[in-house]
Structures are given as C-alpha cells and as structure tokens.
Amino acid sequence: MGNDHFVRFENVDKSYDGKQLVVKGLDLDIAEGEFVTMLGPSGSGKTTCLMMLAGFETPTNGQIYLDNKVISDIPPHKRGIGMVFQNYALFPHMTVYENLAFPLRVRKIPKDEADKKVDKALSMVSLQGFESRMPMQLSGGQQQRVAVARSLVFDPQLVLMDEPLGALDKNLRESMQYEIKHIHESIGVTVVYVTHDQTEALTMSNRIAVFNDGKVQQLSSPDELYERPVNSFVAEFIGENNTFAGEVSDVSGDKCKVKLTSGSEILANPIVAKTKGEKTTVSLRPERALIDPETKMDNNHKGKIEEVIYHGDHTRLRVDLLGNDQFILKVPNSSNRMDIKAGKEINIGWNSVDCRALDPK
C-alpha cells in the first residue's frame, strides 16, 4: 500500500470520430487499495475511461500510468488487470471451474495450485460446489459472483468493474453491493467501479468521481460529495436537491445574500458564486429544511403545501416556496406527526451553511 498514484490519468483525451471529445483532458489519481467509483449519466465518458484503462480503447492524447509505468503500449492481455463486465461475459461453453481456471491456465500455473486458487476464489463469493455447473444453469446473481471470482482469481492488483450489477433486481443488487465491498476490504485490491446508480456509488466507494460531459466534476468521498457538492451538476446528480435561481446581492464573510427571481432574498453559503452581481443557483437538500424549527435558523420563510406524498418511513411535501413550486420537504413519519394537508401554510427554516450558492444552471 501507500502508492497514492497507483493509477494515474494524465491529461487524457479521447475521441472516437475526430469531431467530438468523449473524454476531455482527464486528470485522475487513484491510490493503491482504494475503491473508486466513476459515476455519471450515460455518455459522460466513464465507461470509455475504464476501457482505456483496460486497454480496449487507446487514448487520443495523454498518458495513463499503472504503478508508475506508462501502459498505453501494453496490450490488454499483458496488463494483468481483472475485469468484470456489464453482462458478466462468462464463457458459455465452459464450466464455472473452467471459467475460473482460464486466467490461471494461460499463465501456465500448475494444476494443483490453480485448483487451490479457484477454490479460494469461489469460497470468497460463497459458490463452492458449483465448479461443474455451466453458466447458463446459474441465476443472474450467481453468474455475477462467478464473474467477480474470475476477475480476482489470478490475484490482479487492479480490478475494473463496468456496471456489474446493472442486470440484477433491486434486492440482489443491494446484497451484492455489500458483498463486493467486503471482498474489497478483505483482500485490499484496488477497484475502479463504473456505475450510473448513485446509491450504489455512495454505499460502496472510498471516493467517487462524478463524470459529466467528458470531465470529472468532483472527486471526493461519498459524504463530502453529498454534503458539499462543488457545482450544481453534482448537487443535482447526487441525491435530491431543491434549487433557487438568483443573483448574489451582497457578500459578507462566509455568508452571502441572494436575490431570487421571485424578488425575495435568502442567506446562502458562497461556494462558487462569491462576488456581488454574480448569477447563481442555490442548492438545498430537502432534509436540511425543517417545518416550524425549534432552534433559531437564519432562513425562515412561509410556504404553501401543494401536494402530500406518503412514502412509508417518511412523507414528502411539495411546497410552493419563494416562487419555486417544486420545493420538496421530507417529514419523518414519527408518532407525533403534525397535521399536514395540502393547501396549508407552513413555516420553513434552514441554515445558510446548508444552502450552497453554486454556478448558475
């Protein structure tokens, strides 16, 4: 451990047609043993980055380093990078054992040693006893585990996963998320994981790289990403988000006043928009706004409930607040629930620290 630049993208560009850049000047460092997720909408360049790392695509410009070595000229089969594919890519004509033994056989590892490794890898995903099954005889979840075991069986330093859970149903996906996370923790391999599912990214990763438009918008830990998004794309993409469009009218210390398009003013935390007169989008997480707050909060406004949506553990309110009729509030369904009805006027308060003035949309 300890190499902070185990994987390094240095100013990498990628274009398929010579007209459009899919990846633009990407710089990214991944430390050894880290679990990094590339998260972003489809077409944001995340899978392309993974493919360049695996060696199936070549960067149009820039370099990729693996363990301080340039890997652009190394063909995929010599990179020694394990990979889990979106559709598992198990070899349908081979048994589970043969699938797992394939990377060992091409490395000319003696049979008894290979058997041990296969056994170990299968026990890691709790699939002992499935050696002689064909992939078609396995359920989606089991196939997925075989694919994970196969990518780890030859002890690679780096494993890439390209939306490996995309084809599974919700419950299975959640339990697999924990399983992959635990495997990562127990063997300490570096994992680069690609997904477009933000919950998956938040649960599993050490760090998340949010991709949009061929660029990393933010690279930070899950809580950092959620609590302190650096721009309005990240704020919108990760979790739920209430926004107000407006213009900074006054800045004083770590607070600023934002004049909204509806005319009213709110206090916000100047993150991107820091100077007077700058256009901004103010972002606020639904759970940070409270109804009739007991403690003093520096933003307090009246809103009208437009819609009440029951969600089991909580109730969501759509409120018309300061000219935004899509403002969402989350109210926990505790026993002392207040009387909530559509059409009712309520007091809503929040702290200016949670209310981030970001770049305009």
Partner 1 sequence: MSKEQILSSDGLPLEVSLKKAERKNKLKAVALVAPLFLFILIIYIFPIGDMLFRSVDDRMITKMLPKTFAAMEKWDGQDLPEEPVYKGLYEDLSYLKKTKTYGKIIARLNYEKGGFSSLIKKTVRKINKFEEGNYKEQFIKVHKRWGQSEYLVALKNTAPNWSYAKYLKGIDRKFDQDRNIIQVPEDRRIHKTLWLRTLNVAFWVTIFCFILAYPISHLLATLPMKYSNLLMICVLLPFWTSLLVRTSSWMVLLQQQGPINDLIVWIGLAADDNRPELMYNVIGTFVAMTQILLPFMVLPLYSVMKTISPSLMRAGKSLGGTPLVSFVKIYFPLTIPGIGAGCLLVFILAIGYYITPALVGGASGSLISNTIAYHMKSSLDWAFASALGTMLLVGVLTIYWIYNKLVGIDNIKLG
Interacting residue ranges for partner 1, rule: CB under 8 A:
54-56, 75-83, 85-87, 89-93, 102-103, 106-107, 150-151, 154, 160
CB of 160 to partner 1, least distance (A): 8
Q: How far is the CB of 76 from partner 1 (least distance, A)?
A: 4
Taking the least distance from each CB to partner 1, the nearer of 55 and 246 is 55
CB of 80 to partner 1, least distance (A): 7
* Nearest residue (CB) to partner 1, 97 versus 233: 97
**Sign of the alpha-carbon torsion through 334, 335, 340, 346:** negative
- Least spacing, CB of residue 159 vs partner 1, in Å: 10
Q: Which is nearer to partner 1, 103 or 229 (CB)?
A: 103
Q: How is residue 70 written in tokens?
A: 């340039």
Residue 115 or 306: the one with the smaller Cβ distance to partner 1 is: 115
Residues with Cβ within 8 Å of 17's Cβ and at least 6 positions away in sequence, in order, are none
Distance of alpha carbon 89 from alpha carbon 40, whole angstroms: 23
Q: Which is nearer to partner 1, 142 or 198 (CB)?
A: 142
Which of 48, 151 has the CB closer to partner 1? 151
Comparison of 94 and 308: residue with beta carbon closer to partner 1: 94
Q: Is 65 exposed, middle or buried (0-12, 13-18, 19+ CB in 10 A)?
A: middle
**Shortest separation between residue 86's beta carbon and partner 1, angstroms:** 7
CB of 266 to partner 1, least distance (A): 50
Supply the minimum distance, in Å, between the C-beta of residue 85 and partner 1: 5
Least spacing, CB of residue 23 vs partner 1, in Å: 19
Q: What is the DSSP string of 222-239?
A: HHHHHHS-SSHHHHHHSS
Sign of CA dihedral 164, 170, 173, 177: positive
Instruction: Look at residue 74 and give its three-state secondary structure.
Output: coil
Separation in Å, CA 281 to CA 47, 153, 248: 29, 48, 10
Q: Provide, rounded to whole angstroms, the least separation between the CB of residue 322 and partner 1.
A: 50
Residues contacting residue 6 through CB under 8 Å, at least 6 positions apart = 30, 31, 32, 33, 34, 66, 67, 157, 158, 190
| Under 8 Å between Cβ of 99 and 135 | yes
Determine contact, residues 215/231, Cβ cutoff 8 Å: no
Q: Which is nearer to partner 1, 34 or 162 (CB)?
A: 162
Closest separation in Å from C-beta 21 to partner 1 = 20
Give dist(CA 140, CA 310) in Å, integer. 33
Residue pair 211/46 in contact by the 8 Å Cβ criterion = yes
Report residue 165 as tokens.
């859970």
CA distance linking residue 173 with residue 351, whole number of Å? 36
Residue 51 or 322: which CB sits closer to partner 1? 51
Nearer of residues 109 and 272 to partner 1, judged by Cβ: 109
| CA dihedral over 223, 224, 229, 233, signed as positive or negative | negative
Tokens of 117: 């490794």
